[in-house]
Amino acid sequence: MGCAAIAQRSMVPAMLTMPEYNVVAVASRTTEKAEKFAQQFGCEAITGYENLLARPDISAIYIPLPTGLHHTWIIQSLKAGKHVLAEKSIASDYASAEEMVALAKKNRLVLMEDFMFQYHSQHKFIFDLINKGEIGEVRVFTANFGFPPLPAGNFRYDEAMGGGALLDAAGYTVRAVHFVLGDGFTVKAANLKNDPKTGTNIYGSAFLDNGNGISAHVSFGFDHYYQGNYQIWGTRGKITADRAFTPKPDFSPLVVLEQQNQRHEYQLSPDNHFVGALREFHRTITTGTPEKHYHDVLLQSKTLDDIRRLSSM
Ligand SMILES: NC(=O)c1ccc[n+]([C@@H]2O[C@H](COP(=O)([O-])OP(=O)(O)OC[C@H]3O[C@@H](n4cnc5c(N)ncnc54)[C@H](OP(=O)(O)O)[C@@H]3O)[C@@H](O)[C@H]2O)c1
């Protein structure tokens, strides 16, 4: 739904390599755009998102629209009986996440937020190091995701379209906290900096704590030297994932393990996390087990809401 750059660059090419998927059609607001996209990927062009939802031969919709449009089109898709894979951030706030999850539950449909980085094999490698005791007990988690300014006019600078660094870059760092360390984290302090020109937040940071001795610090922004990493610091060592959020399918990520007087560098195999996320979406549909994704959607939007609330105190 929508000829988004992320769909064209990564998601649809990944779907076309997978036997689980049959890319039936693309819908755009404009016929010309839909036709060009459809021609590139050998599918049908549809004008108007509502006409995509009217198709009985489509069982799932991938929604890479600007965040501010997610609520409307996710609700419409779920009402039309379609499973939904929606780009991050799936919801502009917790109230809308609750409404979407409730409808998905009622209609027995999958609703999944597309944080594909979680499906890259580098994280399994890191979890294995932790489970083997290589860094001892985990004490502190740090995640950073930021990049240089985007071209003016990008929807990420438009509040009404769900713009702002909190709903974009921050989302990765918050998901990483829960993905690596689990639930139970509360936001204790946060700071968001607004761009005076556009009124959207462009950078910030937050401090979270699980009440059990582990803390997390996340930093994010649209006005930065590129960083997309996390560090896990324990009693005996430290692990750094250098390219944690955006490794391209042909990229070999670097994971560093530091211990007393030792430094191990692991150059890992490339992996396609777009395929990984799509495999998970398909698995969730076929096994009828959407609860984890409902839970993740709610936890994520609650944490982002808390960062927004605490930053204004
Ligand atoms: N998970 C990831 O790694 C990742 C990476 C990049 C982006 N994303 C997410 O994917 C989504 C799309 O990002 P993108 O950079 O790919 O966006 P984009 O290229 O700007 O595409 C967004 C699409 O939304 C449709 N649209 C409908 N109403 C719109 C409006 N008023 N303004 C702008 N677009 C409108 C347009 O499709 P039509 O004109 O064809 O209708 C447009 O092509 C966002 O939620 C973003 O956070 C995720």
Q: What is the pLDDT of residues 259-309, one digit of tens each?
A: 999 999 999 999 999 999 999 999 999 999 999 999 999 999 999 999 999
Is residue 62 very low, low, confident or very high in pLDDT (cuts 50, 70, 90)?
very high
Name the CATH code of domain 5-116 (choices 1.10.10.10, 3.30.930.10, 3.40.50.720, 3.40.50.10420).
Answer: 3.40.50.720
Q: By alpha-carbon position, which residue is closest to atom 15 of ligand 1?
A: 5
Across the range 161-190, mean pLDDT stands at: 97
Q: What is the pLDDT of residues 100-131, one digit of tens each?
A: 999 999 999 999 999 999 999 999 999 999 99
Q: Is 88 a catalytic residue?
A: yes
Cα separation of 257 and 276, whole Å? Answer: 25
Across the range 65-85, mean pLDDT stands at: 98
Report whether pLDDT(57) > 80: yes
Residue 162 CB neighbour total at 10 angstroms: 24
Name the CATH code of domain 121-270 (choices 3.30.360.10, 3.40.605.10, 3.40.50.300, 3.40.1390.10).
Answer: 3.30.360.10
Query: Is the C-beta atom of 2 inside 6 A of ligand 1?
Result: yes
Report whether pLDDT(313) > 80: no
Is residue 26 very low, low, confident or very high in pLDDT (cuts 50, 70, 90)?
very high
Cα separation of 86 and 22, whole Å? Answer: 18
Across the range 153-160, mean pLDDT stands at: 92
* Comma-separated ranges of CATH 3.30.360.10 domains in the chain: 121-270
Is there a contact between 85 and 146 (Cβ–Cβ < 8 Å)? no
Q: What is the mean pLDDT of the chain?
A: 97
Cα separation of 193 and 183, whole Å? Answer: 27
Looking at residue 312, its pLDDT comes to: 83
Report whether pLDDT(61) > 90: yes
The two tokens of residue 44 are 């049908």
Encode 284-298: b = buried (16+ Cβ within 10 Å), e = exposed: bbeeeebeebbebbb
- What are phi and psi for residue 114, nearest 5 degrees? -90, 70
Is there a contact between 143 and 244 (Cβ–Cβ < 8 Å)? yes
Across the range 132-140, mean pLDDT stands at: 98
Query: Is the C-beta atom of 153 inside 6 A of ligand 1?
Result: no
How many angstroms separate the Cα of 298 from the Cα of each of 30, 96, 189, 230, 303? Answer: 33, 10, 20, 23, 9
* Comma-separated ranges of CATH 3.40.50.720 domains in the chain: 5-116
Looking at residue 170, its pLDDT comes to: 98
* Residue tagged active-site, from 79, 88, 197, 248: 88
